[in-house]
Structure 1
Amino acid sequence: MYLRLLQHRAADGARAVIAARGDDAWLVPGATTIRALAEQAIAAGSTLAELVDGSGKGDTVDLAAELEAGRIIAPIDHADPAHLQMTGTGLTHLGSAEGRDKMHREAAAAEKQTDSMRMFLEGLEGGKPVAGQTGQQPEWFYKGDGSQLVGPGAPLAMPAFAQDGGEEPELAGIYLIGPDGTPFRLGLCLGNEFSDHVTERHNYLWLAHSKLRQASLGPELLVGPPPAHVEGMSRIHRDGEVLWEKPFLSGEANMSHSLANLEGHHFKYDLFRRPGDVHVHFFGTATLSFSEGVKTEEGDVFEIEAAPFTLPLRNPLSRAAAVSATVREL
């Protein structure tokens, strides 16, 4: 049975960590953040699960009630947001090229194959190398630092200049870099890798612009070996009704790349092995409402749920106020 870890913040700002297995949930005595727990586990040479199991059990917790009350925050953060990096990879799931290819086909009508399709097929052929070998390099993008991380229930705000605010239901790997530069995977979270698909569709070279957006994480960090098959549902609610919904698949059994290959190509850069840093890395999706003609509006609510996670990720869509980006000379 999977161990799930959650972060709790009381009305007075006091922090706590909740552990859950099945329907049972309890406070972890003495724990205030999941990052601090992970640091303890690294120092002790133990796993997160071993550390939590050896800490005893505090008061029981009603997870659904605490989530509804807004006291469950993102399952990872950093005291200095500049030391949390959000990144991701695309075209990693079986079938994920279809939606992307639709977006780019008109712009590349003279080509037999778009760059997206070629990249997908290369990943399909070489994205799951045998242990010890280097596989095909995936598409990679940067989303921002910890200031862009949104917790469950909080609004996902598209910039004032955005042309679209669209959901991407995904799994995200959560990592902490150890004192010697070793990346440690703490677990997986549900994520909404929020993007601007209209901007991306205009020109594939604008992918980087379309990804510089907020992203949200679900309430629970799933600890231990990642499940090979994850099946969930992505929905958009508007005015209290379901506007759109579609099942999505993730996990290695449904991917053209292995997690080890995606992780290897991310952490091969020295920049991403800085001791003490936290990384949130989105693994991609094959399911987008945008590719089915849905145009989101402010006030829409994104909902993502999938077993073995027990709580959904919900975020309303908003638009940020315009700000001046004019550069002044000194």
Structure 2
Amino acid sequence: MSFLRLLQHRAADGARSVILAEDDNAHFLEGVTSTRELALRAIAAGQTLEAAARGCGAGASVDIAAEYEKGHLIAPIDHQDPAHLLLTGTGLTHLGSAEGRDKMHKAAASGENVTDSMRMFLEGLEGGKPAAGSVGQQPEWFYKGDGSQLVGPKEAFTMPSFAQDGGEEPELAGIYVIGDDGTPYRLGLAIANEFSDHVTERHNYLWLAHSKLRQAAIGPELMIGELPGHIEGTSRILRGGETIWEKPFLSGEANMSHSFGNLEHHHFKYDLFRRAGDVHVHFFGTATLSFSDGIQTQEGDVFEITAAPFTLPVSNTLTRAEERAVTVKAL
């Protein structure tokens, strides 16, 4: 089975274009310069995103692997006003995802007490995939930032100067555009690195919100049309060109305790997330962390995440911002 992917291209002169890829073939689309523009066109015409893409003129063929290496592929979704792109996510959504989190929070529990994380995971396992037309269990939810925090598929991660850790989270992200009438439209899925500070989170789970206010990256390919229920990938960390940690991960609804629909309902039920024209990148969670295996990342480490049927990785080098004093002045 072939899967369609949309990619955004930015040439050396800054000119932007959209690429449609199917299997090993890819070509530029004529008459469109961004995925968001194409999606809004599809909504206005009452078409699927695939139909809108196929309705564009087919431009020149392109080698997307070569363009990736040149750094010409940017995130497959963005917004010209970064304040109108929101990065959010849900945790404890995957089968097995409670193990690492529960290890972190065991120190806060004693005896046979069940941690809040484990309780939330079990509630999702029981009620995260409701019958059609029903509302399921509310998941954990967090905010990461606006479009200024979205990092390209080969750009560096810059953790704050005060960060205690910079750790990878390999997962899928749902990509959405809000229609003029406030209807959320899912465009498709991208592989992602939902970058977090796990040392801060481990100190106290009430600091989860702080630990998530970090950059995040998505891979260059936006998978559209019919989506696979089972996705297998590999997450690795390279240091000095050598792999110091590597582990497979599973995602897709078949490997999750929540359905996409349930996670989407509990995000978009809030009116402020249904503002016409906005873009949402929503991270669906993971069960695989190097931090759970005792890995301490260092500046210069490279996080690399791959997953079929995506053909290109998301690869980001860890850096740290310079310390800068922040002063609040009274007016």
Both structures adopt the same fold (TM-score exceeding 0.5): yes
Q: CA deviation at 1:225?
A: 2.7
Count of aligned pairs between the two proteins = 330
SS in 1 for 2:77: coil
Partner of 1:239: 240
1:321, CA displacement in angstroms? 1.2
Q: In 1, Cα distance between the equivalents of 2:44 and 2:277?
A: 12
Indicate the residue corresponding to 1:253 in structure 2.
254
Specify the alignment match of 1:311 in structure 2: 312
Of residues 320-329 and 192-201 in structure 1, the stretch that sits farther from structure 2 once superposed is: 320-329
Query: How far off its partner does 1:107 sit?
Result: 2.3
Corresponding residue for residue 161 of structure 2: 160
Separation in 2 of the partners of 1:30 and 1:198?
Answer: 47
Q: Please list the CA deviations of residues 251-291 of structure 1 after superposition, one character each: whole Å capped at 9, or x if unmatched.
A: 01000000000000000000000000000000000000000
Confirm or deny that 1:40 pairs with 2:41: yes
Equivalent residue for 2:220?
219
CA distance in 1, matches of 2:239, 2:310: 24
Q: Does 1:326 align with 2:327?
A: yes
Contact 2:192/2:218, CA 8 A, preserved across alignment: yes
Provide the rounded CA distance (Å) in 2 between the counterparts of 1:109 and 1:157: 37
Indicate conservation of the 8 Å contact 2:3/2:226, yes or no.
no
Q: Which amino acid aligns with 1:125?
A: E
1:58 is aligned to: 59
Q: Aligned letter for 1:61?
A: V
- One-letter amino acid of the structure 1 residue matched with residue 311 of structure 2: T
Letter in 2 for 1:106: A
Aligned to 1:30: 31
CA drift of 1:111 comes to 5.3
Distance in 1, Cα, partners of 2:161 & 2:139: 31
**2-structure distance, mates of 1:273, 1:209:** 25
Structure 2 contact 5–222 (Cα < 8 Å) conserved: yes
Match of 1:135 in 2: 136
State the TM-score, normalizing by the size of structure 1. 0.99
Moved over 4 A (4+): none
What residue identity is the alignment partner of 1:42? I
SS of 2:328 mapped into structure 1: coil
Q: Which amino acid aligns with 1:300?
A: D
Counterpart secondary structure, 2:60 = coil
Q: Which secondary structure does the structure 2 equivalent of 1:59 belong to?
A: strand
Q: Can you give the 5+ residue segments of structure 1 that lack an aligned partner in the other structure?
A: none
Q: Which string of whole-angstrom CA distances, capped at 9 and with x for unpartnered residues, describes residues 218-247 of structure 1? A: 010000132100000000000010010000
Specify the alignment match of 1:285 in structure 2: 286
**Residue 166 (structure 2) pairs with residue 176 (structure 1):** no
CA shift for structure 1 position 295: 0.3
Inter-partner Cα distance in structure 2 for 1:263 and 1:163: 31
Find the aligned partners of 2:276 and 2:226 in 1 and give their Cα distance. 23
Q: How does 1:101-140 map to 2 (within 5 A)?
A: 101-110=102-111, 112-140=113-141
Distance 2:10 2:110 in 1: 52
Give the TM-score of the pair, scaled to structure 2: 0.99
- The residue aligned with 2:188 is 187
- Per-residue CA shift, 1:169-191, capped at 9, x if unaligned? 00000000000000000010000
Q: 1:206 aligns to what?
A: 207
Q: Secondary structure at the match of 1:64?
A: helix
Superposition deviation, residue 109 in structure 1:
2.8
Q: Secondary structure, in 3 states, of the residue corresponding to 1:58?
A: strand
Secondary structure (helix, strand or coil) at the match of 1:207 reads helix
C-alpha distance in 2, partners of 1:321/1:110? 43
State which drifts further: 162-171 or 219-228: 219-228
Q: In the alignment, which residue of structure 2 is the partner of 1:301? A: 302
Query: Higher mean Cα deviation, 111-120 or 145-154?
Result: 111-120
- Listed as ranges, the gaps of 5+ residues in structure 2 are none
Q: Identity over aligned residues, as a percent?
A: 73
Q: Map 1:74-93 onto structure 2 (within 5 A).
A: 74-93=75-94
Change (3 A) 1:328 1:110: farther
Q: Match of 2:277?
A: 276
